[in-house]
Amino acid sequence: MRAVNPSSGELIGEFQPHSRADVHAIIKDTQDTWLTWKASTFNQRSMLMHATATVLHNDKETLAQLMSVEMGKVSSEARAEIEKCAWVCDYYADNAETFLADEPVDTSATKSFVSFEPIGIVLAIMPWNFPFWQVFRFAAPALMAGNAALLKHASNVPGCALAIESVFKKAGFPGNLFRTLMIPSSEVERVISNKRVRAVTLTGSEAAGRSVASIAGRELKKSVLELGGSDPYLVLEDADIDTCTRVAAQARMINAGQSCIAAKRFIVVESMLAEFEKRQAAIMSQMRVGDPLLDETQVGPMARHDLRDELHAQVISTLEAGGRLVLGGKPIDGPGAFYEPTIVADVKSGMSLYHEETFGPVSAIIPVEDTEEAIYVANDSDFGLGGSIWTRNLDLGEAVARRIESGAVFVNGMTVSDPRLPFGGVKNSGYGRELSSYGIREFVNIKSISIV
């Protein structure tokens, strides 16, 4: 397994994959550790999870730099990601016991209640775009619920994968409770099929989700999928144009546009169209693209050259179908996987940027006549992860939000993940939820106990 710096194309390091015998031994050791861990108290788990947050705070600069070098995240965003991981650790350390407390039920029995008990080893198959946050938002609730965890991380961030395992060990968790599996995707089926693995969660592509879901279904194991998104960003007639265009650039360009919940389809009513386009172009044209380790850099490279090639093909296809190039539109010359901040306007149904998820610094502006058409276009997608609505009329914003087919909608704000709110999607964006009280209950045995 190889780690390559996407800013320079230089090889960072090569990592020896685990053999099948290694994997079998790791799973057995993790199972043996879980048999003890599941009897631990919430207080014991909480102390270790708070300690994990402390390790993250203390090692923030080192971990952030690793993230920047392996997948190109700019330093400011990398540091913020580590802080967010610490937040989710503290959140579940403080709230897991309440979320999983027995729930009494009034029946004809002397005593009836519902308990929430750990199920065992949960396999997490995680992507490269938020290499720490994606893992911790799964691991913190899973471990606090009394489960054990195996991580199969993306192949281009092996250093991050091993660093996360080290963070938990440094915090004092049992050494085999959270383990990283250095394996190719071709070995995932074998791990899911192992009888000691009880469930699987995946954040990744639609194709990967279909594959993992079919394997888990065959093995009768619970799965949670957070897949792609093509989030709509609705600009209605009375939107605050100053704020919505400023946030639009941030919502599209965070992590160089490589985010499932980044705003991707900017659906703008005609009365706001010209001003929105002009202002967004002015902001994005001034964004500093370059070395992610430099504090002044706002947009780093894409994670891999092949991903950049796929994005460019989507842009070219849309332009050939009648889209209008406003800004950018091509790879940046040099050794890194950089792509120009790009805006394509006059995007319509039938074009690549209208229907497909775009994972990179490209904005698609879709004109609509009014609010009703904006809602139709927002829902005219195979995805349903997040979305944003911009209007000064908060009652209208709430009414429109209720009609958007997605797992989350933000009125006058960009879509974000927050430990306090459930996170997940509908349609081809997947199923199940992470975060909040809903997320921690995905991988527990919801057991009814009745004492007659």
Structural domain contains residue 76: yes
What's the pLDDT at 1? 84
Q: Which residues fall within 8 angstroms of residue 222, CB to CB, at 6 or more apart? A: 119, 198, 199, 200, 216, 442, 443
Do 174 and 298 fall into the same domain?
A: no
Picking from 391, 173, 162, the residue whose alpha carbon sits closest to that of residue 267 is 391
With tokens 């969660």, the residue in question is 201
Q: For residue 420, count CB atoms less than 10 angstroms from its CB and return exposed for 0-12, middle for 13-18, buried for 19 or more.
A: exposed
Do 67 and 38 fall into the same domain?
A: yes
Structural domain contains residue 423: no
Strand duo 231-235 + 388-390: pairing: parallel
Catalytic residue numbers, as ranges: 226, 260
CATH of the domain at 340: 3.40.309.10
Structural domain contains residue 210: yes
Three-state SS at 74: coil
Structural domain contains residue 424: no
Do 244 and 187 fall into the same domain?
A: no
Do 265 and 206 fall into the same domain?
A: no
Q: Which residues of the chain have pLDDT under 50?
A: none
Do 78 and 138 fall into the same domain?
A: yes
CATH of the domain at 95: 3.40.605.10
What's the pLDDT at 434? 98
Do 122 and 45 fall into the same domain?
A: yes
Do 325 and 369 fall into the same domain?
A: yes
Domain carrying residue 125: 2-227+429-451
Say what the pTM is: 0.97
Structural domain contains residue 100: yes
Do 259 and 272 fall into the same domain?
A: yes
Domain count, the chain: 2
Cα–Cα distance, 333 to 331 (Å, whole number): 6
Strand duo 121-125 + 148-152: pairing: parallel
Cα–Cα distance, 214 to 286 (Å, whole number): 45
Element (H, E) at 357: none
Do 285 and 392 fall into the same domain?
A: yes
Structural domain contains residue 175: yes
Structural domain contains residue 153: yes
Q: Which residues fall within 8 angstroms of residue 150, CB to CB, at 6 or more apart? A: 26, 27, 30, 121, 122, 123, 124, 178, 179, 180, 181, 191, 197
Do 413 and 434 fall into the same domain?
A: no
Structural domain contains residue 337: yes
Do 390 and 440 fall into the same domain?
A: no
Do 237 and 97 fall into the same domain?
A: no
Beta strands per DSSP E along 243-306: 263-269
